[in-house]
Chain A
Amino acid sequence: MQSQLPFYPDQASNFAPSVDSLMTFLILVSVGFSVIITAAIVIFFFKFHRKSKNEIGVPIHGDMRLEVMWIVIPAILALAMFGWGAVIYVDYRHAPQDTLDIYVIGKQWMWKIQQPNGRREINELHVPVGRDVKLVLASEDVIHDFFVPAFRVKMDAVPGHYNTMWFRPTKAGRYHFFCSQYCGTSHAVMGGWVTVMEPADYAAWLSGTTGEDVNPVVAGEKLFAEKACSTCHLSNGTGRAPSLNGVYGGTVRLADGSTVNADEAYIRESILFSNAKIVAGYQPLMPSFQGQLTEEQILSLTAYIKSLQSQPVPATGAGVIAPGKK
C-alpha cells in the first residue's frame, strides 16, 4: 500500500490506513479553520487599516448568535474527532483471539524479544504477514516504549506492569522500531528492525532455532517444579492452592466476592504479590516471589500457565467460573 501523502510513513499494518484516514480528517478540519481565521485576520487587517490619526473603531460589543455558533460547531467537530479516535483506540487496546504472542522485555538499552517457540532475538523482531500479533511488554528497569511507525502503534513497557499491544502486519519488509519513552543515556539507540515475512518464510526462520533457545513453556514447566509451585497448585484441584488448568483467559472469583479476568497481568500479579487477589475458597498461603524471579522467568512461568489452557478444568477447581473467552 502506498502512503496517501509524502509525509505519511509506510503503511504496513492493519492500523496504518485507519490512523492515516483519521489524520487526514483532522488535517482537513484544521486547515479549514486556519484558512477561515487567517483570511479573516488578513482581510480585516488591510480593509480596516487606520485611515486617520484620531480614528476610532465602530463600537461592537458582541453577538450572541455568533458566540453560540462558534461554540456549537467546534463542539460537534470535536465530538466527531473524539468518536473516530476512540473507535481505533478501543480496537487497539483489545487484542483479538488467537494472536501470535511474542514476549518483549525492555532494559537499558536493548530490547530482548522471545518468539513463542523460544527463539530469542535482540533488537530484531520477526513477524509473519497477515497474522494477528500480540506483544507482551515488560521492563527490567525504567519505563521504555515500543514504537513501530510503519504500524502506527506504540505502547509503554512499564516496570512492575505488563502491557500488551497488537497489530496485523500487512506488508512484508523491514521497518524501524524505536524506544519512544526517554529511558536514559542511550535511549536514542535503543531500537532496531521489525522484519515482516511471508508466513512460510517466517516458519522457516522460526525453525532455525539454535540449541540455546529454550521454549518458554518448557522453561516455565521446569521453574514451576523448581520453585515448588507444583506442590500446592495440583492440577486436579485437590491441592492447597487452586488448579491452574484453564485459568488463563477465564474469569476468577475472588474471596471478596469480586471477579477478575485472568490475563497476563493477573498471573504476574499473583506471582509477585500473591496476597493481592485471593481466589474464593482458598487461604492466603502463597509466599511472594517479588525479587526472586527475573522478568524472563516470570514470562516463562506465564507462558507455561497459559499453555495449561487445553487441559480439562477439574470440577473442584473453586473460583474458576468460565474457561476460555476473554
Chain B
Amino acid sequence: MSTTPPKPPGYQLPKEHYLNATYGLRSWLLTTDHKRIALLYLASVTFFFFLGGIFATMIRIHLLTPAGYLVTPETYNKLFTMHGVAMIFFFLIPSIPAVLGNFLIPLMIGAKDVAFPKLNLLSWYIYITGGCFVLYSFATGGLDTGWTFYTPLSSVYSNSAVTPAVLGIFINGFSSILTGLNFVVTIHTMRAPGMTWFRLPLFVWAQYSTSIIFILGTPVIAITLLLAGLERMFHLGFFNPALGGDPILFQHLFWFYSHPAVYIMILPAMGVISEIIPTFARKPIFGYTFIAASSIAIAVIGFFVWAHHMFLTGESTYAALAFSLLSYLVAIPSAVKVFNWTSTLYKGSISYDTPMLYALGFIGLFLIGGLTGLFLACLGLDIHIHDTYFVVAHFHYIMVGGAIMGYIGGLHFWWPKITGKLYPEFLARLAAVILFVGFNLTFFPQFILGYLGMPRRYHNYPPEFQVLNVMSTAGASILAMGYLLPMLYLTWSMRYGKVAGPNPWPATGLEWTTASPPPTENFDVTPEVDWEPYDYKNRPDLGLGTPSVPSLSPAHGDD
C-alpha cells in the first residue's frame, strides 16, 4: 500500500499514516486507534453481511415455487431467522456507527481519538464474543424462532439452539452500550476550538441521537432476551402462561428496544445523506437546525411507539389509539428531513458522483419505506396487512433501501479518506444503479403480495402468489450483483486505485483538512474552526468558486 502508482496529477500518499504506522497482527488486535478499530469492525460486519446475504439468497431461491424449491420447512425457518439475527444485530446495528462513526467522529470534531480508546477496542472484542456465541448457535442446530424470539415459542417450544443465540445477543448489547457511551462523551468533551454544537456536521448529530438510543434502549433488549433464556433453561415463569407468565409482556419489552433499534439503523444513514448532499451540491444544507433537531426528535419519540407492533395481540383499544397517534408523530421529523434534502438540491452545483447517486437513491427508497410505514401505523389497515409481506417489504425499504444504501454511499464518500485511494468511478456508478433497480424489483412486489394476503415467514404459499415471488427472486439476483461489485472494486482500489489526495470532492468537513489516509494522531496541529458547516462560499482554501487551481493546503486552522 505504501507504493505510489506513478501517474496521478500531483498527489502522493503521505509518508506515514495510520495504516503504515505499525505493522503486524498484534498492532491491529491491540490497537486503540479509532480508525483501525473502525477497520476491524468493517471486516467483521462485512463477514456477517455476507453470511446474512447467503441466507437471504437461499430464501429467495426457495420461494421460486409455491411448494418450496430448495430446503425443508425446518431449514427454511432457520434460514429466515438466522438471516434476521445476522443482519440486524451483527450487521445493521453496528454498521454505520461502529465503522463510519468510529472512523469519522474524532476526525469530524477535530479530536485525536474517541474519549475512551481502550473501551472502544473492548467494544469490538465484546462484539466478536457475542458473534461467536451466535455463530455457535447457527452451527449447532441453528435457530428457528424468528429474529423476534416471540415467547413461548422461543422459551419453551423451539427445538433449536436458542440459548447460545440469546446469550450472544445479550453479550453483543454491551458492545452497543459502550460504543454509544464513548460517542456521547467524545462529542461532548473533545470538540476542537470553535467547533460549536451548531457547527457539528449533521452526521455527528445523527450519531449522537443514535448513541442515546444505544444507551437507553439496549439494556432492555439484553435483559429481555436473558429472561427468555432463563425461562428456557431453568423454567422460570416470565412469559410462559403455563408457569404464570405472560407472552404479551415479552412483546412489550422486546419492542421497547427493537422499535427504537430501527432508528439506530436509519438515523446514522440519514446522517450520511446529510453529508453527501451538500458536498455534491456544493452549498449549505437547507434547514440545518431542522435536520439536526429532527434526529433528536426521532430518537426521543421513537421510544414511545413500540406497541404499534402489537395492535392485534388483544392490547386495549385505547393503547392502540395512543400508539397509532404517536407513530404518526414520529413520521413528521422524517418527512422534514426528506423535504430539506430535496430543497438543498435547489440552485446547487450538482455532480453525478457515486455518493450522490446513493444519496438520491436513498431518498427515493426511504420515501417509499417511510410512506408505507404510515399504512402500517394506520389501525384500520394494520388489521389486514400486519404480519404479511407488506411488512417485510416496508422494513426492507427502510433497512436495506435506507440503511444499507446510506452505509454503502458513505463507504464510497469516505473511501478516499479511509484508504487514500479512489475507486473506479464508472463501475461504482454502475453498481449504484444496479442496486437501485435490483432492490426495487426485489421488494416492491412484496407490497402487493402483502396486500393480497400472503403472510410472512411462509416456506410455501398458494400458487396465485407465484408470479410476484418469481419477480422478487429475479430482483434479488440483480441486487446480489450490486453488492458483490463494490466488494470487488473497493478491495481492488486499496492497492491499485488512484491516489485521492486530502480532499478529492472537495468537501467542507474537518476530516477533509487532514491527509488521506490520516496520520495516527489525525491532525498535525489541533484544528480551529471558524467556518459554518457546509459553507462553500467562505472557504477559499477549497479552491472553488474562482477559476483558481484546485489545490488544498493540507492543514487548515492557522487563521
Chain A contacts to B: CB under 8 angstroms: 7-9, 15, 18-19, 22-23, 26, 29-30, 33-34, 37-38, 40-41, 44-45, 48-51, 53-63, 66-67, 70-71, 74-75, 78-79, 81-82, 84-90, 92-94, 108, 141-143, 145, 147, 149-150, 152-156, 158-163, 176, 178-189, 291
Contacts and interface: CB of A to CB of B under 8 A. Distances in A.
Given A37-B363, A55-B282, A82-B378, A185 B74 contact: yes
B25 to A, nearest CB: 43
Contacts of B372: 30
A93 B325 CA distance: 17
Given A58-B347, A58-B348, A156-B314, 15 more contacts: A37-B363, A40-B345, A60-B346, A60-B347, A62-B290, A67-B287, A70-B335, A71-B336, A85-B377, A89-B317, A145-B387, A147-B453, A161-B248, A183-B153, A185-B144
Contacts of A108: 157
B367 A56 contact: no
A94 B321 CA distance: 14
B394 to A, nearest CB: 12
B368 interface: yes
Contacts of B150: 142-143, 181-182
B328 A178 contact: no
Interface residues of A, dominant DSSP: mixed
Interface of B: 73-74, 77, 144, 146, 148, 150, 152-153, 156-158, 241-242, 246-248, 281-284, 286-290, 311-314, 317, 320-321, 324-325, 328-329, 331-332, 335-336, 338-340, 342-343, 345-352, 360, 363-364, 367-368, 371-372, 374-375, 377-384, 386-388, 448, 451-453, 455-462, 535-537, 543-548, 550
A184 B347 contact: no
A189 B152 CA distance: 20
A8 B451 CA distance: 7
Contacts of A163: 313-314
Q: In the complex, which of the residues A26, A147, A156 has the most CB atoms of chain B within 10 Å of its own CB atom? A: A156
Given A67-B287, A291-B242, A154 B312 contact: yes
B381 A56 contact: no
B452 A55 contact: no
A261 to B, nearest CB: 12
Contacts of B535: 59
A88 B320 CA distance: 12
Contact of B153 (A66, A84, A153, A184): A184
B371 A55 contact: no
A184 B77 contact: yes
A149 B453 contact: yes
Contact of B383 (A67, A89, A189): A89
Contacts of B340: 62, 67
Contacts of B458: 187-188
A-B complex: 4 closest residue pairs judged by Cβ atoms:
A149-B453, A160-B241, A57-B283, A88-B380
Contacts of B281: 48, 57
Contacts of A147: 387-388, 453, 455
A58 B345 contact: no
A119 B314 CA distance: 27
Contact of B283 (A23, A58, A158): A58
Contacts of B313: 143, 156, 158, 163
Contacts of A93: 317, 320
A78 B329 CA distance: 8
Contacts of B550: 53-54
Contact of A141 (B157, B335, B387, B545): B157
A82 B324 contact: yes
A186 B282 CA distance: 55
Contacts of B157: 108, 141-142, 184
B447 to A, nearest CB: 9
A239 to B, nearest CB: 28
B459 A188 contact: yes
Nearest to A66: B343
B284 A180 contact: no
Contacts of B320: 89, 93
A56 B247 contact: no
A59 to B, nearest CB: 5
A64 to B, nearest CB: 9
A24 B369 CA distance: 17
A152 B366 CA distance: 27
Contact of B388 (A75, A180, A183): A180
B73 A60 contact: no
Given A19-B383, A81-B328, A186 B73 contact: yes
A161 B310 CA distance: 14
A145 B312 contact: yes
A56 B372 CA distance: 36
A57 B539 CA distance: 13
